[in-house]
Structure 1
Amino acid sequence: MSKHIAIYVRVSSKTQDHRSQLPDLERWADSQDEPIKWYKDKASGKTMNRPGWNELESNIRSGKVSQVVVWRLDRLGRTASGLTSLFDELQIRKVNLVSIKDGLDLSTAAGRLMANVLASVAQYDNEVRSERQAAGIAKAKAQGKKWGGSKKGTRTKVTDDRIEIIRHMKEKGKPITAIAKAVGLSRPTIYGVLEQF
């Protein structure tokens, strides 16, 4: 049976697109000799139950996949238990995992150690974000603040892709005003995002 490399791409919501992940993945794919199949999802990383992922998992279990490639490990999921059980299953089935941005390769001992550390970090980030949101909401309610006021559909969210762009632009030394304009968010929001890193 011929095997293929599975490239998995996920964004968290239907309003996001895969464009920020594709250039790196396409460059990586161009350097491979083995056949490649792309799997894509627009779904939360809090669950492993997603259409694209379910198809990929089925192909892994039927022995059709030689390795799984992602842009960053958090594209697979955001729970440590989900990711570590996935790492174990991939190793048992002799399927390698490559994460381009994390510089991760499960075929090495260092890569396996790093994968488990990153899985724990992904879960920690998720829990801290949830705690921060809950604390912020509680504080705002205690101060009598209410939500709303803008027209329906005009609220801009700080998505994973926007966070990546903010971090990248900041690393390149771009001013906060330019970053805010590029991602369509306010300067205080940009400062808030950068404080998390």
Structure 2
Amino acid sequence: MTVAIYARVSTNRQDNINQVAELEEYCKRNNRAVFRTYKDEVSGVKDTRPELDKLMQDARLKRFNQVIIWKVDRLGRNPLHMLQIVEEWEKIGIDFTVTTLGIDTSTPMGKFVFGLLAQVAELERRFIIERTNTTMSRIKKELTKKGYYITKEGKRITKLGRPKGKGDSKPRKKRGYYLRDYKKRSPPHFSKSKTRDNEG
């Protein structure tokens, strides 16, 4: 079986030598051929990481059969994002192993444990949705009652909606003239000769 090793530390002042050494030893004991070792030096809170992104690309190309990590938090600090990663591996047909916990999705027990983790993550998803809906309901009530709402940052808002970006102030073109000039200017007229040429 060909495996990929993933190791991560939060900053470049730390090193992942111990992680990699233990994972390589695990592979030797279990007759695993290492395709590549992916090492990130970035916070686990970030969903996008250079080496993790490369690992995901190689996984989609099915260049290995299993991903091995030292501890669960080495994969990340966001449970929902971690679950999405492992679910994608499962769909591709790649197993996932956490050596310090003995979780191995290639075994019945490993799949069972992963199923429990998936259920916990699903509960977290629902809690997030519930909290979001509760917050939005409270904001709407405040806007209806007072006409404004004060955020945690102390900002005063008077309506819900996406904030305007820099590009929102630029006029958009439609059929050769600007939308903001639509009521002031008429669309350009075409000569009969051009119309005939276009029809031909």
CA 1:79–1:113: 2 relative to 1, 3 Å: farther
Match of residue 27 from structure 1: 25
Q: CA deviation at 1:13?
A: 1.1
User: How many residue pairs are counted as aligned between the two chains?
Assistant: 120
State the distance in 2 between where 1:116 and 1:10 align. 24
Q: CA deviation at 1:71?
A: 0.6
State the distance in 2 between where 1:115 and 1:44 align. 24
Write the deviation string for residues 138-159 of structure 1: whole angstroms up to 9, x where unpaired.
Answer: xxxxxxxxxxxxxxxxxxxxxx
1:132-151 to 2 correspondences below 5 Å = none
Match of residue 100 from structure 1: 99
Alignment partner of 1:9 is 2:10: no
Write the deviation string for residues 47-96 of structure 1: whole angstroms up to 9, x where unpaired.
Answer: 22111111100000111121000011111111111111112111111101
Alignment partner of 1:67 is 2:90: no
Calculate percent identity across the aligned residue pairs: 30
SS at match of 2:33: coil
Matching residue's letter, 2:13: T
Q: Work out which structure has the larger RCO, using CA pairs closer than 8 Å and 6 or more positions apart in sequence.
A: 1
State the distance in 1 between where 2:61 and 2:19 align. 27
**4+ residue segments displaced more than 6 Å:** none
Alignment partner of 1:82 is 2:81: yes
TM-score of the superposition, structure 2-length normalised? 0.54
Matching residue's letter, 1:16: Q
Which ranges of structure 2 fall in alignment gaps of 5 or more residues? 125-200
SS at match of 2:45: coil
Over the residues paired in the alignment, what is the CA RMSD in angstroms? 2.3
State the distance in 2 between where 1:60 and 1:110 align. 23
Match of residue 46 from structure 2: 47
Alignment partner of 1:36 is 2:35: yes
Which ranges of structure 1 fall in alignment gaps of 5 or more residues? 125-197
Write the deviation string for residues 10-45 of structure 1: whole angstroms up to 9, x where unpaired.
Answer: 001111101231331121122325343111000111
Greater Rg over alpha carbons, structure: 2
CA contact (8 A) 1:29 1:36 kept: no
State the distance in 1 between where 2:20 and 2:89 align. 23
Alignment partner of 1:112 is 2:111: yes
CA 1:66–1:100: 2 relative to 1, 3 Å: same
Q: CA deviation at 1:118?
A: 5.6
